Amino acid sequence: MLAETHPLEPFFPKNAKLLMCGTFPPKQNRWSMNFYYPNFINDMWRIFGIIYLGSKDALVDAGHKTFKVDEIKALLIEKGVALSDTGKEVVRMKDNASDKWLQIDKTIDLSASLAELPDCVAVATTGEKAAGVIASLTGTDVPKVGEAIDCSISLPDGGIRKFRHWRMPSSSRAYPMKLESKAEFYRKMLVDTGLV
């Protein structure tokens, strides 16, 4: 099985206080746009629409079965939210995007990523496998869904970065939780991080 390298560059607004990390994008034939959480049946941008714009459809372009990517990017820059994934090189053990069947061969360089985000005080992982990667990189436990633990990591310059690791419910439709309930978990995390 061939290894896949992550197809997207990290999205790192310089003012970011939060770094959100999933595991790895689905195969590109499932994409509705060239950005993070690209599958039209993934609910991440509906969650952000509920929290920031009062409607699950505010960032949805239903006519084209895609999302309003320019508005999403502008919102993330305005609020200070960075995006990356915890898998930089993976092998799909089955022909799908399920975390269960992803083998991560190369993880995010969390230290270097946080060095690029000087104001970042929280990392939110959007699934169990992503949470496990951050826990392994920081030598900490995996938080329970909707909860956070305090972490630290050495930076390339020798400094130490302290941050909170939030484990969020997956925005995948396969995750058994109603959209509105997911949005409440995300709202709690965003409030705690000072972004709402």
For 22, phi then psi, to 5°, come to: -90, -155
Tens digit of each residue's pLDDT (9 = 90 or more) over 38-97: 999 999 999 999 999 999 999 999 999 999 999 999 999 999 999 999 999 999 887 766
Q: What are the start-end ranges of the E strands in the chain? A: 3-5, 18-22, 60-61, 66-67, 81-85, 87-92, 102-107, 122-125, 148-154, 160-167
| Domain that includes residue 176, residue range | 12-192
pLDDT at 100: 78
Is residue 6 one of the residues assigned to a domain? no
Kindly report the CATH number assigned to the domain that includes residue 171. Answer: 3.40.470.10
Domain assignment present for 171: yes
Indicate whether 1 belongs to any domain.
Answer: no
* Residue 5 belongs to a domain: no
> How much of the chain exceeds pLDDT 70, in percent?
99
User: Which tokens hold the place of 146?
Assistant: 């909707």
pLDDT at 98 over 80: no
pLDDT (0 to 100) of residue 1: 73
The answer as to whether 146 is a domain residue is yes
Does the residue 64 lie in any domain? yes
- Predicted pLDDT at 96: 66
Task: Please give the tally of structural domains in the chain.
Answer: 1
pLDDT of residue 196: 93
Span 15-30, pLDDT tens digits: 999 999 999 998 889 9
Residue 88 lies in a domain: yes
Would you say residue 131 lies in a domain? Answer: yes
Instruction: DSSP letter for 51, please.
Output: I
Among 5-14, 18-27, 100-109, 126-135, the range scoring the smallest mean pLDDT is 100-109
Burial 180-195 (b: 16+ CB within 10 A, else e): eebbbbbbbbbeebeb
What pLDDT score does 97 carry?
65
